[in-house]
Amino acid sequence: MKIKNVELVISAMKKDQYPDDGLPEVAFVGRSNVGKSSSINTLLGRKSLARVSQNPGKTRTINFYKINNEFYFVDLPGYGYAKMSKDSRKEWGRVMEEYFQNSKDLKHIFLLVDIRHEPKEDDVMMHSYAVHYNIPVTVIATKSDKISRGAYQKAFSVIRKKLNYTGEKVMPISALKKTGTDEIWSHIINIFEN
C-alpha cells in the first residue's frame, strides 16, 4: 500500500465530531501498552503520527486518520490500564459504546494482543463486544519480534482459544522490525474491496 497522505482529521470526544464524509473505516483496539500506536505508525510508514503512550490510560478520544483521502484508520482508546480510575473506566465505556452504536462506516475491527501472552479478560470482553455488534474482527499479535518464528503457531492457538476467535488468521506484526505489514495491508485492501 502506498501511503500518499495521512491526516489526523479529528480527535473526537463525541459522535457529532465524527467525520461524516462516508469513507469506510477500520478500527484498532487493544489494551494500553499493547503496541497499538507503534503498530499504526508502522502500517502507515510514519514515525510518530499516532502517539506512543507517555501517559497510558489517559487518552479517551477517538482519533480518525484519513488515509489517501480514501478511508479511515480509527484509533480507539486503549483499555485495561491498571491505574485507570473508576471515572475514566466509565468514560472509556461511554466513548466506545457511542462509537459502536453510531459508526455506520465501520467495516472491520483489528483487535491487538501481545503475541507473548494469553489475552486478558478485558480482551475477551472486547472481542465479544465486536461480535455482539456484528463487526468482523481480525486479531493482530503485536511485538512478534519478542518470540521466535517457530513459536508463532503455539502463540496463535493460545490467543484463539482464550478469545474464542474463529477468524481466518491471527496476523503478527513487529513495529520494531517492521514486519507483518504487507499481510495486514492485503487484508485491509480486501476488506474495502468487498
Footprint of ligand GDP on this chain (CB under 6 A)? 30, 32-38, 52-53, 56, 78, 142-143, 145-146, 174-176
Please, which residues bridge with residue 6 across strands? 67
Whether the CB-CB separation of 92 and 82 falls below 8 Å is answered with no
Mode of pairing for the β-strands spanning 62-67 and 25-30:
unpaired
Q: Which is nearer to ligand GDP, 91 or 145 (CB)?
A: 145
Q: Which residue has the cell 473508576?
A: 86
- Name the residue nearer to ligand GDP (CB basis): 36 or 108: 36
- Minimum CB separation from ligand GDP for residue 22, in Å? 28
26 contacts 74 by C-beta, under 8 angstroms: yes
Run of H or E residues at 101: helix 86-102
> What's the min distance (Å) between Cβ of 104 and ligand GDP?
26
- In whole angstroms, how close is the CB of 36 to ligand GDP at the nearest point? 3
- Closest to ligand GDP by CB, 38 or 103: 38
Q: How far is the CB of 65 from ligand GDP (least distance, A)?
A: 14
Pick the closer one to ligand GDP by CB: 31 or 66: 31
Which CB, 112 or 130, lies closer to ligand GDP? 112
Three-state secondary-structure class, residue 15: helix
Task: Report the nearest approach of ligand GDP to the CB of residue 97 (Å).
Answer: 21
Of 78 and 119, the one with the shorter C-beta distance to ligand GDP is: 78
Which string of b and e fits 47-68 if b means at least 16 CB within 10 Å?
eebbeebeeebebebbbbbbbe
Smallest gap, in angstroms, from Cβ of residue 20 to ligand GDP? 26
> Partners of 108 in the beta sheet?
26
> For residue 111, which of 21, 59, 5, 39 has the smallest C-alpha distance?
39
